[in-house]
Amino acid sequence: MKNNKEVSDKKQCAIHVVSTRSFNELEMLAEDLECVKMWLDDKKAPKTDSDGNEYSVVGRIQCLLNVC
């Protein structure tokens, strides 16, 4: 059970982020990223290393470049 201090600390840590990009731009970027992930899957780029740590998208691309 959490004490009141832990709960109040979490309330004070609220972060408000404002983007200068429009919703449409963000939606297009998300779609592009999804396409890159599908392309990496199609190319059989590994998702994890030998220890089970997950690669980022850039890490997966680096794996492909190192193999080619």
Residue 3's pLDDT is 57
**In the block, residue with structure tokens 């970027």:** 29
Using a pLDDT cut of 70, give the percent of the chain over it.
81
Q: Do the domain assignments include residue 1?
A: no
Position 21 in a domain: yes
pTM above 0.95, yes or no: no
CA distance 38 to 68: 19
List the domain range (segments joined by +) for residue 27.
11-67
Domain count, the chain: 1
Length of the chain measured in residues: 68
Residue 2 domain flag: no
Residue 17 vs residue 11, higher pLDDT: 17
Q: Which pair of structure tokens corresponds to residue 32?
A: 């592009």
The single residue listed with the structure tokens 């740590």 is 53
